[in-house]
Amino acid sequence: MSVTVLCDIRFELGEGPSFDQHTGTLRWFDIVNCKLAEMKPGTGTVTIHSLPFMASAIARIDKSRQLLACEDGLYVRDAASGSLALHVPLEDDNASNRSNDARVHPCGAMWVGTMGKKAEKHAGSIYWHRGGEIRKLYSNITIPNSICFSPDGSVGYFADSAGGKLMKVACDPATGLPSGEPELFFDNRGQTGGLDGSICDGDGVVWNARWGGSALDAYSPDGARINTIELPVLQPSCPAFFGQDASHVAVTSAWQDMSARKREADPLAGCLLDTGLTVRGRFEPDAVI
């Protein structure tokens, strides 16, 4: 197993990777520079779209539409033209905040995190969306991350990267709403690097990008760290399954807040990587709007 570069374009804050199995397309963002990238792995061709605002996550609605988590709401994007239409406002009265981590529950509901644009303490929240309805689930979060779900939708995961705790919560598989109180899944405090984006594979293993730790970690369903894949970037940000059977794992990365000297010492910072892993991955469900 060896890590290779899927895309050598160095995004300042590469984030939010997602794979559309229907078109074989990987998509990811440079959040702070308002960019959306698309590529079909193996072709070497990358298309970069400029966006009118920051966006951090994308999900398929159907063959012609996508749902984007953006700085002031959820937007429907026309896949062919790239046009954007506001679907549901989200903290649109707070210009200091933006969206961050998000993922679709197996039932089609989307959990979306918000945070301060300067990572202001406790400025963010995590919301649930389905069918045009928004509900706030958790507040006083600094950097919401690691949102993902067990294969049957009965467990949700999330973290506040500033707090260092990966949490789990029982969920209603039919709605994606929490049905219990969050509890500690893994305590990352005192470790090198912090919890960033996560995905959950078909065996219920949670794969987490460790920002500042040059690693992708795997956690068993009982919360034990069972594997660590070293990565050639200091700040990996989020993984995504991709490929014909979702068996490969890509990871975004970033050079945000690095000095020129640190960027020179981390020449792949901001690139999209193929970890070389073979896992029992899962395709992302469509979002229900």
Domains in the chain with CATH codes: 4-274 (2.120.10.30)
Instruction: Summarize the confidence of residues 3-17 as an average pLDDT.
Output: 98
Instruction: Summarize the confidence of residues 211-238 as an average pLDDT.
Output: 98
Residue 93 contacts by C-beta under 8 Å, 6 or more apart in sequence? none
pLDDT digits (tens, 9 = 90+) for 176-213: 999 999 999 999 999 999 999 999 999 999 999 999 99
Task: Compute CA 225 distance to the chain's CA centroid, rounded to the nearest angstrom.
Answer: 20
Instruction: Summarize the confidence of residues 213-236 as an average pLDDT.
Output: 98
Sign of the CA dihedral 190, 191, 196, 200? Answer: negative
Q: Is the distance from CB of 32 to CB of 237 less than 8 angstroms?
A: no
**Cα–Cα distance measured from residue 202 to residue 113, given in angstroms and rounded to the nearest whole number:** 24
Q: How many residues does the chain have?
A: 289
**Cα–Cα distance measured from residue 123 to residue 101, given in angstroms and rounded to the nearest whole number:** 14
Instruction: Summarize the confidence of residues 212-225 as an average pLDDT.
Output: 98
Q: Is the pLDDT of residue 1 over 80?
A: no
DSSP code per residue over 224-262: -EEEEEE-SSS-EEEEEEESTTS-EEEEEEB-TT--HHH
Instruction: Summarize the confidence of residues 126-151 as an average pLDDT.
Output: 98
Catalytically active residues, by annotation:
196
* pLDDT score at 44: 81
CB atoms near residue 162 (< 10 Å): 18
**Cα–Cα distance measured from residue 102 to residue 147, given in angstroms and rounded to the nearest whole number:** 6
**Cα–Cα distance measured from residue 133 to residue 142, given in angstroms and rounded to the nearest whole number:** 24
pLDDT digits (tens, 9 = 90+) for 68-109: 999 999 999 999 999 999 999 999 999 999 999 999 999 999
Q: Is the distance from CB of 76 to CB of 58 less than 8 angstroms?
A: no
Mean pLDDT, the chain, rounded, equals 98
* pLDDT score at 243: 97
Q: Is the pLDDT of residue 259 over 90?
A: yes
In order of 53, 71, 103, 246, the CA distances from 264 in angstroms are 29, 31, 33, 33
> Which residue in this structure is represented by tokens 């959040």?
31
**Cα–Cα distance measured from residue 40 to residue 169, given in angstroms and rounded to the nearest whole number:** 35
Q: Is the distance from CB of 204 to CB of 150 less than 8 angstroms?
A: yes
* pLDDT score at 42: 87
For residue 203, is it left (φ>0), alpha (ψ between -120 and 50) or beta?
alpha
- Angle (CA) 168-174-176 rounded to 5° is 35
